[in-house]
Amino acid sequence: MKRDFLYHRIPMLLTFAALLGSCGRTSGPKVAPYLDENAPLETRIEDALSRMTLEEKVAVLHAQSKFSSAGVPRLGIPEVWCTDGPHGIRPEVLWDEWDQAGWTNDSCTAFPALTCLAATWNPEMSALYGRSIGEEARYREKDVLLGPGVNIYRLPLNGRNFEYMGEDPYLSSRMVVPYVQGVQTNGVAACVKHFALNNQEVNRTRVNVVVDDRALHEIYLPAFRAAVKEGGAWAIMGAYNRYKGEHCCHNSYLLNDILKKEWGFDGVVISDWGGVHDTKQAIENGLDMEFGSWTNGLSWGASNAYDNYYLARPYLELLRRGEASEATLDDKVRRVLRLIFRTAMNTHKPFGSLNSPEHLAAARRIAGEGMVLLKNDGSVLPFDPGTMKRLLVVGENAVKMMTVGGGSSSLKVRHECTPLEGLRKAAGDGVEVLYERGYVGDVSTDYNGVDSGQDLTETRTAGELLADAVAAAREADAVLFVGGLNKSGHQDCEGADRLSYGLPYGQDTVIEALAAANPRLAVVLVSGNAVAMPWIDRVPAVLEAWFSGSEAGNALADVVFGAVNPSGKLPFSFPVRLEDNGAIALGEYPGGDSVTYREGLFVGYRWLESKGIVPLFAFGHGLSYTTFSISDVRSDRTSLGSDGRIRVSADVTNTGDRAGAEVVQLYIGDEESSLPRPVKELKGFQKVSLAPGETRTVTFDITPEQLQYYDDRQGAWGAEAGRFTAFVGAASDDIRGTVTFELK
């Protein structure tokens, strides 16, 4: 059962428990100093550590249930309770199983997927997201939120890409820091995942990733580094895969050398559920807390299988025989105690709230700002209710709930506003919003005991569905197709990758038929991945709406009816063909027991530009219902000055007739590097809101740090003297001006 409500909230009871636990001691203070909030944190940790027995120390390092680890009742030290994220607080599960506990008061706000958050290109939205989801975790008495995810989008088949923040390390770094800080203001630890190189779901528990040091440090680690060194993350989750032949949940180079020594991480390393494979490696290679080593521990041939975890009885026996270091043990326990003092025993954390109007408003705002207008010739979007009487909505994704499914990020919500529901509310009484399904995808509605309650069964054949949709399209004033992917296996879902780049369920045929029947067609894609669009030239408007959470329908209606002017930008590239992706082109996916990242640094737009490949939609691309100019790109000097910087400026003007926001993007290219470098790399961005006709000047300070690369020959970061180019524009393929400067 879950820990008692009062036990966690009233410090007096904690003090009383500690006093009872110390009654048998013959020496020492009468009141446990580690409960004195005025004492330094590290002093309290050392005092608590000194009071713990060997058995108690080992007990706090491993799970006691599916999502909790033990405390030390004798000393008044509470348990640690984790919850899956990163898009919402997972419903309560049974003590030892994945299935739901059947509570009726654990419905949460589903926030948009992290691809949508990254697409806002707005750190303020990330702060709002983190603060809001942290409040929900706090209300539910969770100590650790298992998120956010910041693994790099290496290829568009990864089933878990929707949980991450895109293909660029700089964008991910800037967006993860406010999220982590927002969560932790609630006394809830953000557990940043999956560290590291978790870039595919195929063979995820055994594949060994072979990657060069430059790519590791320049592409795959920066977001984790920012989360730790800037965000102050209190927890990190290891990945399932292997690197250098060691599983990442107990990987000495990643956890000991980089995370703890180089970055100075003082929090806990938590295993992914079932990610631990060896006791000695878990002890020596940096793991601090072990969870989920078996799905159903109590049937593992022992009365308490949690004692059989790698960091449980096997560890204790090694310690008793003197075959394991107590110093290593104490380091792990200190980290766990530090986590507990920051979370469960933090008496200053605020009260939380669950599924509040403010959280629903935040989810709606983030979703609307993250939607990306990929194409728009102005003939369809935004819809004007005054010029239409009949709007036809086609597509299963217009009615299918997307908060249920997808793996560990599956949620239970009190209500999910579907696209059709939101569109009907926004259209008003003057517009009849009709619906045709068009195709049948996945009629399942449940995951881990949570059922959406929908009935998606269909009796019509594919031909009948298509014919009915086309007939209705001919009679409509405009058509909105809502399709894309879903959270079923081999789509956007944990545990399996996509099998192809195209849209599933014959959607391409439906879109092409609708385009022939009615030229006023807009396509809305609900997905967390790029998809092929063979029909792109026949469709006047395309909107990427992502998985948008509880308020998906309202947010979509805000955008398509023009209440919200779209301002999202793609956090990853959309290639025309799957073969345009570097990992696919080089034949280095999915691999077997090993996969080599032969593309190295050249991930996403870096690969496309190095090969001269034109994307379907570029990294950073996103349109608006207004227009913007970016002009007069200039610098204040021709080389980095004595103050170690050069300032690049540009003027951005709203040249249209609607208020809107543009993301001004700064890329830098090294013109004289002795080592291979991308044509250009994102090094800055600013989102600017402007009224019609308004102009603002944006500035970027370029420092030597932004010019560095990781020198694998020296094992260190450095920048070479020489000529650099700063590119300023609205997307990676839409550069409006450049300046050249020198680093001397």
Pairing of strands 80-84, 144-146: parallel
Query: DSSP readout, 368-415?
Result: HHH-EEEEE-SSSSSP-GGG-SEEEEE-GGGTS--SS-SSTT---BS-
Q: Helix (H, G, I), strand (E, B), or coil: what is residue 630?
A: strand
Contact 277, 260 (CB under 8 A): no
Q: What totals of helices (H) and strands (E) does the chain contain, helices first?
A: 19, 27
Contact 256, 286 (CB under 8 A): yes
Query: How far apart, in whole angstroms, are the C-alpha atoms of residue 200 and residue 352?
Result: 35
Please give the structure tokens belonging to residue 720: 């070479």
What separation in angstroms does the CA of 57 have from each of 43, 51, 236, 529?
A: 17, 10, 20, 43
Residue 130, C-beta contacts closer than 8 angstroms, at least 6 positions apart: 148, 178, 179, 180, 181, 182, 183, 190
Residue 290 burial by Cβ neighbours in a 10 Å radius (0-12, 13-18, 19+) = buried
- As beta bridge partners, residue 141 has none
Query: DSSP readout, 399-467?
Result: TS--SS-SSTT---BS----HHHHHHHHH-TTSEEEEE--S------EETTEE--------S-HHHHHH
Please give the structure tokens belonging to residue 644: 């170690």
C-alpha closest to that of 64 among 292, 274, 263, 224: 292
The amino acid that residue 674 corresponds to is: S
CA 438 to chain CA mean position, Å: 31
The amino acid that residue 389 corresponds to is: K
Contact 15, 31 (CB under 8 A): yes
333: phi then psi, degrees, rounded to nearest 5 = -65, -40
- As beta bridge partners, residue 686 has 664
Q: Helix (H, G, I), strand (E, B), or coil: what is residue 667?
A: strand
Catalytic residue list contains 47: no
Of 272, 288, 497, 580, which one is the catalytic site residue? 272
CA dihedral 596, 601, 603, 606 (to 10 degrees): -150
Query: How far apart, in whole angstroms, are the C-alpha atoms of residue 230 and residue 707?
Result: 19
What separation in angstroms does the CA of 393 have from each of 376, 481, 528?
A: 18, 6, 21
C-alpha closest to that of 717 among 262, 341, 245: 262
Active site residues: 272
